[in-house]
Amino acid sequence: MTMNDQKETRVRDQPGDDELEEELRRTAASLDPVPPELLRAAADAFTWRTVDAELAELVYDSLVDEDALALVRGGSDRRLLSFEAGGLSIDLEVSTAGAARELTGQLAPPQRASIEIRAGSGRVRTDADELGRFRATSVPAGPMSLRCQLAAAGTGPAIVTDWISA
C-alpha cells in the first residue's frame, strides 16, 4: 500500500467525520446559539399550563391541509383553523394586516362562551354570542392559544386549544 492510499483511506474514515461534526457543533454553539431570551420564554411556558382544562387539538389547518392548487389561488394572508375537544369544535379564521391580527371564530354546537386569547405575552378577551360567534381585533403577534369557558359549563373545566405559531 502506498502513502497515497493510506491518506485516502484516512480521509474517508468515520473518526474524521465525527471530528468534523464536533467542530461544526462548537462553531454553531458559538456563532448561532439559542438566544438567552428564548430560553427564558421556554421556562415561562410552564406557567402557561392549564392543568384543569380540556385540550382542544388542532384538526385542520389550511396552511397544511389545503391542496397546493388552493394555496396558489387563495390569498396567503388568511388562515383557517379547526380545533376539537369532546363534542365541541372551534373554527377560526386568522387574517393578518401588518403587525396586527384579526380573529373571527365559531363554536359548534353554537353557544355562549367567554373567550380568552393568549397571544405573544398578552391576553385579549372576547365573548361568543348565542350563535357561537366571536371576533377579536388587534391580537398581538406570536404563539397563540384560545381558552374557552362555556357558559353552559358554569364553573366547569375550560377548554384550551393547541398553541399555534400563527
Nearer to another protein, 110 or 120 (CB): 120
Residues 35-74 within binding reach of another protein (CB under 8 A) = 35, 38-39, 41-43, 45-46, 48-51, 55, 61, 63-64, 71
String of contacts with another protein for each residue 128-157, x by CB under 8 A: -------------xxx-x------------
Rounded Cα distance, 116 and 122, in Å? 10
Q: Which residue has the cell 354546537?
A: 109
Nearer to another protein, 116 or 162 (CB): 162
> Using CB atoms within 10 A of its CB, is residue 62 exposed (0-12), middle (13-18) or buried (19+)?
middle
Q: Which alpha helices (DSSP H) does 61-163 contain, by range? A: 62-65, 68-73
Residue range at the interface with another protein (CB under 8 A); choices 7-15, 82-90, 103-111, 127-135 = 7-15
